[in-house]
Structure 1
Amino acid sequence: MNLGEIVKSAHSGWRYVVLIMLLGAIFNALSGYFGKKPYTEGSRKLNVFTLISAHIQLVLGLAAYFINGWYNVSSAVAMGRYWKMEHISMMIFAIILITVGNARSKKVDSALMKHRTIALYFTLALIIIIVAIFTMVKADPSRTYMGLS
């Protein structure tokens, strides 16, 4: 197993951590917002760990992108275009949303607004990630939805 395969496997496996953290943070934010709960240190840490897991995924993805030479594939083919441009663009945008949402939640004073900000930005990021997964399966029929057919 070479370095490219190791990084690709790590990137592929780490996605579950990111999705679980993202879903947990969204659930926590929505329950905090609708339940009018205080914004606790636990909420802050969950959001930060979600941010960190997304950034680790980004670093692994960029490493896989360059180590495996995916920037050299043909854009004329749907699968090549997806891996070369669409996947990386959507995922970077999703991570930007997570980062901006976390930063904006720190700037508001109200606990309700903190929860609302996290819920909004993290949910938008999750939607983009889900769209990217569906687009991946469409562009590359050999792939499945998170390992499920």
Structure 2
Amino acid sequence: MYTGIQHLHSGLAYLVLIALIVVIVLMLIGSLSGKEFSEKDRKIALVAFILSHIQLVVGLILYFISPIGLNLLKSGGAMSDSAARLTALEHPLINIVAIVVITIGYSRAKKLVDSRARFRSIYMFYAVGLVLILSRIPWDSWLG
């Protein structure tokens, strides 16, 4: 079960990154072109929103069933080792913050009336979330 969830978390990460990049580009184009924010735009942003939240839930499940996640913090040795600290603390914490930022951007855009402001809310908050996610991906273990 652990290996399956680990593969799901890694595979879903690609979808989340692609979805966030696509949404950021489309919302940026929408903002710069002055077009009206449509239901289609909202649904496109919603796809990335949902995928990022599913990724968070899968990641949290993985964190608590993993032999390394929470156990590294309990053992006390995680803070002195940068790779262990990334796995045990930085990756989950920063990604939770990233999903909160994405959620704020999406929720804020739903409340706004002006189309340009709605586009900007989504692309700016999603971009900050994406940067946070990219900053804490364990690249060595993910690509290696």
Q: Do the structures match in fold with TM over 0.5?
A: yes
Deviations 1:12-43 (A, max 9, x none): 00001101110111011100100001111111
Q: Which runs of 4+ in 1 moved over 4 A?
A: none
Separation in 2, partners of 1:42, 1:22: 16
Residue 79 of structure 1 corresponds to 83
Separation in 2, partners of 1:128, 1:31: 22
Among 53, 72, 91, the residue aligned to 2:95: 91
Residue 49 of structure 1 corresponds to 47
Normalization by structure 2: what TM-score?
A: 0.91
Give the CA RMSD over aligned residues: 1.3
Residue 120 of structure 1 corresponds to 124
Separation in 1, partners of 2:82, 2:118: 40
Separation in 2, partners of 1:67, 1:119: 34
Separation in 2, partners of 1:115, 1:89: 27
Aligned partner of residue 136 in structure 2, secondary structure:
helix
Residue 130 of structure 1 corresponds to 134
Deviations 1:69-101 (A, max 9, x none): 411113132211111100001111111111110
Among 30, 33, 43, the residue aligned to 1:32: 30
Which protein has greater RCO, CA pairs closer than 8 Å, 6+ apart?
2
Residue 104 of structure 1 corresponds to 108
Separation in 1, partners of 2:88, 2:96: 13
Residue 5 of structure 1 corresponds to 3
The residue type paired with residue 121 of structure 1 is F
Q: How many residues were matched structurally? A: 138
> Does the CA contact (< 8 Å) of 2:23 and 2:48 recur in 1?
yes
How much identity, in percent, do the aligned residues show? Answer: 32
Separation in 1, partners of 2:44, 2:63: 28
Normalization by structure 1: what TM-score?
A: 0.88
